[in-house]
């Protein structure tokens, strides 16, 4: 029987050992997979799309959190047995995990696509996966580690708090840490559930011998199992296997294998238009049929209960698919109407030319069908990628939107919401218009609904005020493209390793946090030319952020402050510096 202090030490020790193992996994992702793929000539866009901000996460844990935990647990525990104060320092860096988790679905999609279509990518990944350090696990398994880490902190902290005496000086810090970590853990748990679905699809893909391309975030395996197929010729039963997905049924034949069951797809039936019903056959029990657009199958279950379950699950999947299709059609209809009324000068001019008398094939009432089709085709071709980031649209992970101010076609990532002068609701606009538009007064209803959000934003604004900052000033900021934006840039005293960017006309919106560990601070290279002066940059992995100061003195001060923060030097960061 352990004493209470010994139990607390055991939890702390477990945290230390799991943190050491976790840092090794981060090293594998950042210094092995990421580095080797880069050396093999894989584009920086693909690598950043897969590994996101893993360099910052690795740097924080390897250089800051792990050394602090190690010193506390192996050297100081006898005189200072606390964990809460250290884990509370993790809170500002949970924002890094938010970015990683948010990108996780897209990262999985890119890995799966590259493994199928890029031989150099596949060769590098498979060579690394064969190494002992990988432990016979795939790249996708290792990429899940950062997503799983936050929920593990949550479980350890809950256990720690259960055994921590009420009067302990560490209780307040530990409870605050748990509150912050639990919020982040909810996002991670959602990503874990999605990943488990993807792993299930990968398993089925392998069992089908790669015959069907089913590994897609939109696919979901609902049910699978053995079934008997009744021969139409003589009524004999034949062994078959069904995979039911949210969008299709795969009717398969088992292959004869000594190790591991494999299947060959005999028929693929879309859920759209599928029918399932119970049938009564003489001398044959537990039968039902599924009828698709091309084929009808008479099937036999092993028991009456199994038959009812198959019918119920297939029917429920059909109904859900119908509902989703109706919702999508309604959305598509409103989307098409919205597109027709875009304030797009090029579209307007094309339409007006086609509708003029004497235009090719057109009359006074709007032109022929072929002219309209040609116009629509041209329009669609022009709008296949986002105006801001130039990434291609797709129907699942990169939806197409329109700026309500200038009509530009943009993705969700490159847009913001703002009330416009002609209405009180929040309208989607591109980031350029967002920064240029003046504040519009909201209606009382909108104002009341957003009161709490504004209060939280005001609290954040107070934290970022000059008097509460280690260092702050206005700087010009550039991330992509050629347009510089004026930003209020600050490092708060309460979060000395996080840089915040606040647009000068963002009217109380949440500032953008940039955790600094892992970034390098430097001047632009000889090949980088800018119209503005006193430029410096922050680089991490394949991301580069540019800043321009008003004068050389301010540029030097910012570079000193950022360099210290990027190395984790929080003490005396602003010593000898004053806010301009």
CA-CA distances (angstroms) from residue 424 to 343, 418, 447?
20, 9, 10
The pLDDT of residue 215 is: 74
Instruction: Please name every residue paired with 300 in a beta bridge, in sequence order, or none if there are none.
Output: 228, 287
pLDDT, one tens digit for every residue, the chain (580 residues): 678 889 999 999 999 999 999 999 999 999 999 999 999 999 888 998 899 889 888 988 998 889 999 999 999 999 999 999 888 877 667 767 877 887 888 898 899 889 989 999 999 999 999 999 888 889 999 998 988 888 888 899 999 999 999 999 999 999 988 888 887 777 666 666 666 777 788 788 888 887 677 877 678 889 999 999 888 777 788 899 999 998 899 999 988 765 667 888 989 999 988 999 998 877 788 899 999 988 889 899 999 999 999 999 999 999 988 887 777 666 556 545 544 444 443 333 333 333 333 344 444 334 445 444 454 444 454 457 777 777 776 655 567 777 877 777 888 777 776 555 444 455 777 776 766 655 444 434 444 445 545 554 555 555 567 777 888 899 999 987 778 888 889 988 877 888 888 875 544 556 777 888 778 899 998 888 888 999 999 987 667 899 999 999 999 999 999 988 887 776 544 444 556 6
CB 544 within 8 A of CB 437: no
CA-CA distances (angstroms) from residue 75 to 15, 69, 90?
15, 10, 21
Predicted TM-score (pTM) of the model is 0.48
CA nearest to 503, candidates 487, 514, 491: 487
121 CA to centre of own chain? 22
How far is residue 236's CA from residue 228's CA, in Å, rounded to a whole number? 9
The pLDDT of residue 381 is: 46
Q: Which residue has the tokens 């875009």?
A: 342
* Structural domains in the chain, sorted by start: 4-188 (1.20.900.10), 221-322 (2.30.29.30), 386-435 (3.30.40.10), 467-567 (2.30.29.30)
Pairing of strands 401-402, 409-410: antiparallel
Q: Can you read off the two tokens belonging to residue 98?
A: 């938010």
How far is residue 462's CA from residue 493's CA, in Å, rounded to a whole number? 12
Q: Can you read off the two tokens belonging to residue 38?
A: 């880069």
The pLDDT of residue 364 is: 38
The pLDDT of residue 424 is: 45
Q: Detail the DSSP E strand segments found in 479-550.
A: 485-492, 498-503, 512-515, 520-522, 535-540, 543-548
The pLDDT of residue 451 is: 55
The pLDDT of residue 578 is: 53
How far is residue 399's CA from residue 385's CA, in Å, rounded to a whole number? 10
How far is residue 414's CA from residue 431's CA, in Å, rounded to a whole number? 6
CA angle 143, 145, 151 (to 5 degrees): 140
Q: Can you read off the two tokens belonging to residue 154?
A: 């949550």
User: How would you write 265-322 as a 3-class SS string?
Assistant: EEEEEECCCCEEEECCECCECCEEEEECCCCEEEEECCCHHHHHHHHHHHHHHHHHHH
Q: If you count DSSP H runs as helices and E runs as strands, how many of each does the chain have, helices first? A: 18, 18
Evaluate the CA torsion angle 330, 331, 334, 337 in order and state its sign: negative
The pLDDT of residue 190 is: 66
């Amino acid at each position: 029987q352990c004493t209470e202090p010994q139990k607390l030490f055991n939890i702390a020790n477990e945290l230390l050992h799991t943190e050491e193992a976790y840092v090794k996994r981060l090293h594998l992702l950042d210094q092995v997979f990421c580095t080797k793929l880069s050396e093999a000539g894989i584009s920086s866009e693909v690598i950043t799309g897969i590994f996101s901000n893993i360099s910052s996460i690795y740097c924080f844990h390897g250089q800051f959190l792990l050394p602090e935990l190690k010193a506390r647990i192996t050297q100081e525990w006898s005189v200072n047995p606390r964990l809460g104060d250290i884990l509370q320092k993790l809170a500002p860096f949970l924002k890094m995990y938010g970015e990683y988790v948010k990108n996780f679905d897209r990262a999985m999609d890119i890995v799966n696509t590259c493994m199928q279509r890029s031989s150099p990518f596949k060769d590098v990944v498979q060579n690394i996966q064969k190494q002992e350090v990988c432990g016979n696990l795939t790249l996708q398994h290792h990429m899940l580690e950062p997503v799983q880490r936050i929920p593990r902190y949550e479980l350890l902290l809950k256990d720690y708090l259960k055994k921590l005496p009420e009067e302990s000086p560490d209780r307040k810090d530990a409870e605050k840490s748990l509150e912050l970590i639990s919020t982040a853990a909810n996002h991670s748990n959602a990503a874990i559930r999605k990943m488990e679905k993807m792993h299930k699809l990968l398993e089925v893909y392998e069992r089908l011998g790669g015959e069907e391309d089913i590994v897609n975030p939109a696919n979901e395996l609902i049910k699978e199992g053995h079934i008997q197929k009744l021969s139409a010729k003589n009524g004999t039963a034949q062994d078959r296997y069904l995979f039911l997905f949210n969008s299709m049924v795969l009717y398969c034949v088992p292959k004869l294998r000594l190790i591991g069951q494999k299947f060959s797809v005999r028929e693929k039936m879309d859920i759209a238009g599928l029918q399932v019903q119970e049938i009564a056959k003489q001398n044959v029990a537990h039968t039902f049929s599924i009828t698709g657009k091309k084929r009808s199958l008479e099937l036999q279950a092993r028991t009456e209960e199994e038959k009812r379950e198959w019918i119920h699950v297939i029917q429920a999947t059909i109904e859900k698919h119908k509902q989703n299709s109706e919702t999508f059609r309604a959305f598509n209809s409103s989307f098409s109407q919205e597109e027709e009324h875009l304030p797009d000068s090029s579209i307007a001019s094309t339409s007006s030319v086609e509708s003029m008398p004497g235009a090719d094939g057109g009359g006074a009432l709007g032109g022929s069908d072929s002219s309209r089709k040609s116009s629509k085709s041209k329009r669609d071709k022009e709008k296949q990628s986002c105006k801001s980031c130039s990434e291609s649209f797709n129907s699942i992970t990169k939806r197409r939107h329109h700026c309500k101010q200038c009509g530009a076609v943009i993705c969700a990532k490159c847009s913001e919401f703002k009330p416009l002068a002609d209405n009180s609701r929040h309208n989607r606009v591109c980031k350029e218009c967002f920064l240029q538009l003046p504040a519009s007064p909201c209606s009382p209803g909108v104002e009341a609904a957003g009161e709490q959000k504004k209060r939280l934003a005001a609290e954040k604004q107070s934290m970022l005020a000059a008097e509460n900052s280690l260092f702050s000033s206005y700087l010009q900021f550039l991330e992509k493209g050629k347009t510089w934006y004026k930003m209020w840039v600050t490092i708060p005293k309460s979060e000395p390793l996080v840089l915040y960017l606040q647009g000068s006309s963002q009217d109380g919106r949440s500032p953008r946090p940039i955790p600094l560990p892992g970034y390098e601070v430097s001047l632009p290279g000889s090949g980088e030319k800018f119209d503005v002066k006193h430029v410096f940059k922050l680089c991490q992995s394949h991301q580069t952020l540019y800043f321009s100061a008003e004068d050389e003195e301010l540029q030097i001060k910012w570079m000193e402050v950022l360099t210290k923060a990027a190395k984790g030097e929080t003490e005396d960061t602003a010593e000898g510096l004053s806010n301009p």
